[in-house]
Amino acid sequence: MILDIYKDALEYSAKDWTKLVILGVVCLFSFLLLPLFLLTGYNYRVINNAVHGVINGRDPLPEFNDLIEMFIDGVKVVIVQIAYLLIPFIIFLIFAVIAGNLSGAASSALMLIGALITFVIFIVAELMIQMGICHMAYNDGAFSKAFAFSEIKEAIDEIGWFECIVTYVGLIIITLVISFVVTAIIGLIFTAFGISGAVLGADPSGIFVLGVLINSAITMFIVGPYLSIFNSRSIGLLYTMQI
């Protein structure tokens, strides 16, 4: 099941390179508030398609239209993410404050315990975020459904907590591997050019900077959007695996 989800999402993400480039332009300006919400809203549309579809279906990539609706969806998703992540943050803060009033080994031990508890709660919060967004999409965008804890927990129970965690960890690994491979390939290419440039009397540092800029551009315009769609599609399909 998990491998089928990955296969579908990897193929789906490369269906329309024109939309990937458009999403890449949005990513370029994502440091601004409006494009960031548009990017998040588009990924929400990918999830929405997935939760109403099937693995290895023929769903096209979402269109870039109704930008106001896309923006609102993006805002809703960000609010859901912040709300859930506040829980592990507050718990860690409580442990940090208490540990700050202690000294020596007691402080260190409490901080270690707090870090472990926070990590576990963070993993649960991440799963609740992903499944909560999927649950919201499945229920026609009803914002309250992202916080329907009993319904979301029931969905995770039906899929299986182990399967959810393994799928999520797998997404992280695949994302890191793809990013590393692309970066390494571009780095090797420009290392070769750097050596050639040194032989020809060119400035190797200038070639290195050019390599970094091109690497960043490729990551921003192609790899980043591709991976964001891949992750969104995978999570949405995972939601459909309920019994």
Mean pLDDT across the chain, nearest whole number?
A: 86
Burial class (CB in 10 A: 0-12, 13-18, 19+), 183: middle
Neighbours of 228 (CB within 10 A): 20
Neighbours of 70 (CB within 10 A): 23
Whether 207 shows a pLDDT value over 60: the answer reads no
The answer to whether 211 and 186 have CB atoms below 8 angstroms apart is yes
What lies within 8 Å, CB to CB, of 148 at 6+ separation is 132, 135
User: 3-state SS of the chain: helix, strand, coil percent to 5?
Assistant: 85, 0, 15
Q: How far apart are alpha carbons 145 and 132 in whole angstroms?
A: 7
Question: What is the length of the chain?
Answer: 243
The pLDDT, as a whole number, for residue 216 is 67
Q: Sorting pLDDT into bands at 50, 70 and 90, what band is 186?
A: confident
The pLDDT, as a whole number, for residue 209 is 61
The pLDDT, as a whole number, for residue 199 is 46
Q: Sorting pLDDT into bands at 50, 70 and 90, what band is 208?
A: low
